[in-house]
Chains A and B, each alone.
Chain A
């Protein structure tokens, strides 16, 4: 039981962060507005949680210009994917 709990990742305890990871895992990339719409989040809230995931190295982004407007595309990193799948596995084991 202790081992299973150890595999649960604190970074994904938050609902919005869990949502961000779920959405990014099944899409090559999503821009800020698409994430906002999917997760029904406010600008500030979404930005701060993205920042947290960035710092952990789970999420990365590229900035582009679309019709001269800045556009930020977010995607999961390899380690983010690994960490999230491990977290899912831990939940599954917990529910067994």
Chain B
């Protein structure tokens, strides 16, 4: 049938448009893994910070510079492990679908993700060096959200709403300074797991 051929054509056009302009190998498992690692990291940080304070009393925490350095180290390890896991599952998916993981679409995605992300990271370090610890959680969440919104044009569209939620969460956490770790666990842990499951069910892994 002629019609069948044209339906097939349309399907192919859409598929090529997606494949040529977006990075579609992004795996849902990457999000789930990153989320679990972030939750584990938050839990360790929580134990670390609150271990000596009175459980029933107010959680007034004074971070010594030693503790701060350990937390920074923990943060760096969590970041590296989470990103590695993300790359691993995405590479697996690219291999399965016979796409290259490093192509012009991936490059475009990464550049657009990096601009807000690096800005936020540097800003956090500057504030940290001045001792404004409470502001770090809102800044990282907000800039991460902005990075996702910016990069979402070049990958699955769900990333855009994830970015918007992260921004909102960051703004709320800016109001409730002192609950940074909780907001971090929600933003980088819980949301990644939820979105990972959604992406996994929609696009496979």
Given contact pairs A18-B13, A27-B20, A91 touches B6 in the complex (Cβ within 8 A): yes
Select from chain A the residue with minimum beta-carbon distance to B3.
A95
B157 within 8 A of A: no
CB neighbors of B among A35-63 (8 A): 37-39
B9 within 8 A of A: yes
Q: How far is the CB of B113 from chain A (nearest CB, A)?
A: 19
A83 within 8 A of B: no
Q: Which residues of B contact A39 (CB under 8 A)?
A: 16
B12 within 8 A of A: yes
Q: Which residues of B contact A66 (CB under 8 A)?
A: none
> What are the interface flags for B34-59 relative to A under an 8 Å C-beta threshold, 1 for contact and 0 otherwise?
00000000000000000000000000
Select from chain A the residue with minimum beta-carbon distance to B99.
A37
Give the dominant DSSP class at B's interface: helix
Find B20's partner among A15, A26, A88 (CB 8 Å cutoff): A26
- Check B10–A19 contact: CB distance below 8 A: no
- Check B19–A38 contact: CB distance below 8 A: yes
- Check A26–B104 contact: CB distance below 8 A: no
Select from chain B the residue with minimum beta-carbon distance to A92.
B10
Give the dominant DSSP class at A's interface: helix
Q: Please report the number of residue pairs spanning A and B whose Cβ atoms sit closer than 8 angstroms.
A: 45
- Check A15–B6 contact: CB distance below 8 A: no
How far is it, in angstroms, between the C-alpha of A23 and the C-alpha of B19 when the chains are bound?
A: 8
Given contact pairs A34-B103, A34-B104, A37-B100, A23 touches B12 in the complex (Cβ within 8 A): no
B7 within 8 A of A: yes
Given contact pairs A34-B103, A37-B100, A37-B103, A91 touches B17 in the complex (Cβ within 8 A): no
Select from chain A the residue with minimum beta-carbon distance to B20.
A23
- Check A22–B6 contact: CB distance below 8 A: no
Given contact pairs A18-B13, A34-B104, A95 touches B20 in the complex (Cβ within 8 A): no
- Check A91–B19 contact: CB distance below 8 A: no
Find B21's partner among A18, A26, A92, A94 (CB 8 Å cutoff): A26
Given contact pairs A15-B12, A18-B12, A88-B13, A38 touches B20 in the complex (Cβ within 8 A): yes
- Check B10–A22 contact: CB distance below 8 A: no
- Check A23–B16 contact: CB distance below 8 A: yes
Q: Which residues of B contact A19 (CB under 8 A)?
A: 12, 16
Find A94's partner among B6, B12, B103 (CB 8 Å cutoff): B6
> What are the interface flags for A1-41 relative to B under an 8 Å C-beta threshold, 1 for contact and 0 otherwise?
00000000000000100110011011100100010011100
